[in-house]
Every structure is written in structure tokens, then in C-alpha cells.
């Protein structure tokens, strides 16, 4: 890994006030990546590519006995300028064969995906988190881990914060937490690390039950 180049990407993002993954959050995710050794990762919210580059380099450094060519990260970014910068950064880090950047609205792009992912990382528009969760579950398999960053949003989510400026984001983040913790197909915990990290593990038996229930409802018509 070219640590100098990676640090340059990080510092440039910080200087330009582009939100990127916090160091302590990255450390938690690093532990998950090393343990799970995922082959396919989906990231919702690329920014300038810092987090996806970090994920790729962590896996490549810790999968010596694995086939590194099997590691694939798909990442979606709405802002075209940031996405193009991410593409340049990924090329600079020699990761073009590992990371694919999709430019556009994740709400529109996600329904076109049908692959199953091992890890799904959500770090995009906070007001869309509940939508992203539904799509993440659809793109999951048994033991897929869904990670949602900034889930506590500066502490507002767990407080009585109700100011107009951030009300929509806070409301939808609370909705995400409610759905993730109450959905029986998920095992979810919230960590007070960084700006808050939700970690959900998909449980296959409930997903199968849901599929059977759906089939029965179709037969009823």
C-alpha cells in the first residue's frame, strides 16, 4: 500500500471539508474485514474514494492466502465531480481492477443491482438511510454485515434534538435504527465510535420465512 498517497487523499478531503470515514470507525471496520475476509463489498457513498481504497488495501494486505483478484468493491457516488476524483485516486493507488465506481443516485442505481454482497457500507445521504437499508437487505445473503456510518449524527439522534435544520436527517436516522433493531432478519448493535456505527448481521432463517410467506400470499390471490 502506498501510505503516502493514501494520506494525501485523506488530508485533501479533510481540507476541502469532504466527509470521510473517521479513524476510530475505520479501525472497527478493519477488524471486521480481517475477520470476515469478504470477497464482495458494496459501498453507498464514495466521496473521493478514501474509504473504499482503505477497505481494498486492508483486504489485500490481510488475504495473503486468498486469491486477491476475487476481491471486488462496488461503490456509488451521486456527485459527479467527487466520483471522478475518486476514479483518479483509485487509479493512482492501482486499484482499478478492484474498485468499480458507479456515478448517480443510489436510490435509482441500487434496484438495478442483483449481486449478493458480503459487506455493505452505508455512508451517503442520511435522509435516505431507511431506503438504503431495504436495498441492503435485498442484496444480502446469510451472514452479510451491513454497516451504517454516522448513525448517531453528532449525538442528535439519541437526544431530544428537534431543530428544523437537521430534523429530516435525524428523523430518518432514528427510523433506520428502529427498523434495523426491530427487524427479526437482522441482529443489530450500535457502537458509539466515531459519529456512531450501526452493525447489522443478516440472519438467513428469517429471510427464508419471509420468502415462504410472500409465496403463500401470492397463492392466495
In sequence order, which ranges of 100-189 are alpha helices (DSSP H)? Answer: 106-109, 129-138, 164-182
Q: How far is 30 from 41, CA to CA, in rounded Å?
A: 13
Angle between helices 23-36 and 50-62 (to 10 degrees): 40
Residue 136's nearest CA partner among 28, 72, 43 is 43
Q: How far is 189 from 182, CA to CA, in rounded Å?
A: 11
Contact, 132 vs 44, CB < 8 A? yes
Q: How far is 96 from 152, CA to CA, in rounded Å?
A: 33
DSSP-derived letter for residue 39 is: S
CB-based contacts of 147: which residues, under 8 Å, 6+ apart? Answer: 29, 32, 119, 120, 121, 122, 197, 198, 199, 200
Contact, 45 vs 77, CB < 8 A? yes
- What is the layout of strands, in order, in the sheet containing 117-122? 99-103, 72-77, 40-44, 117-122, 140-149, 197-202, 186-191
CATH number corresponding to 3-220: 3.40.50.150
> pLDDT tens digits, the chain, 221 residues: what are they?
578 899 999 999 999 999 999 999 999 999 999 999 999 999 999 999 999 999 999 999 887 555 567 899 999 999 999 999 999 999 999 999 999 999 999 999 999 999 999 999 999 999 999 999 999 999 999 999 999 999 998 766 767 656 656 778 888 999 999 999 999 999 999 999 999 999 999 986 444 445 444 444 444 44
Largest Cα–Cα distance in the chain?
A: 61
C-alpha distance across the termini of the chain, in Å: 57
> Tell me, what's the pLDDT at 170?
87
The domain spans of the chain are: 3-220
Environment class of residue 128 by beta-carbon count within 10 Å: exposed (0-12), middle (13-18) or buried (19+)? buried
Amino acid at each position: 500500500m502506498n501510505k503516502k498517497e493514501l494520506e494525501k487523499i485523506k488530508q485533501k478531503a479533510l481540507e476541502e471539508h469532504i466527509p470521510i470515514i473517521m479513524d476510530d470507525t475505520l479501525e472497527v471496520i478493519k477488524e471486521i474485514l480481517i475477520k470476515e475476509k469478504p470477497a464482495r463489498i458494496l459501498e453507498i457513498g464514495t466521496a473521493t474514494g478514501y474509504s473504499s481504497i482503505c477497505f481494498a488495501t486492508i483486504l489485500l494486505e490481510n488475504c495473503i492466502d486468498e486469491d486477491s483478484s476475487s476481491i471486488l468493491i462496488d461503490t456509488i457516488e451521486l456527485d459527479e465531480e467527487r466520483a471522478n476524483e475518486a476514479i483518479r485516486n483509485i487509479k493512482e493507488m492501482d486499484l482499478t481492477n478492484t474498485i468499480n465506481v458507479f456515478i448517480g443516485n443510489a436510490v435509482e442505481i441500487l434496484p438495478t443491482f442483483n449481486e449478493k454482497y458480503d459487506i455493505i457500507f452505508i455512508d451517503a445521504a442520511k435522509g435516505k438511510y431507511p431506503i438504503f437499508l431495504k436495498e441492503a437487505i435485498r442484496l444480502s445473503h446469510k451472514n452479510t454485515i451491513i454497516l451504517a456510518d454516522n448513525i448517531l449524527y453528532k449525538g442528535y439522534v439519541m437526544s431530544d434534538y428537534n431543530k428544523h435544520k437537521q430534523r429530516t436527517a435525524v428523523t430518518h436516522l432514528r427510523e433506520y435504527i428502529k427498523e434495523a433493531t426491530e427487524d427479526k432478519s437482522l441482529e443489530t448493535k450500535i457502537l458509539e465510535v466515531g459519529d456512531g456505527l450501526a452493525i447489522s448481521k443478516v440472519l438467513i432463517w428469517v429471510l427464508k420465512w419471509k420468502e415462504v410467506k410472500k409465496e403463500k400470499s401470492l397463492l392466495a390471490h
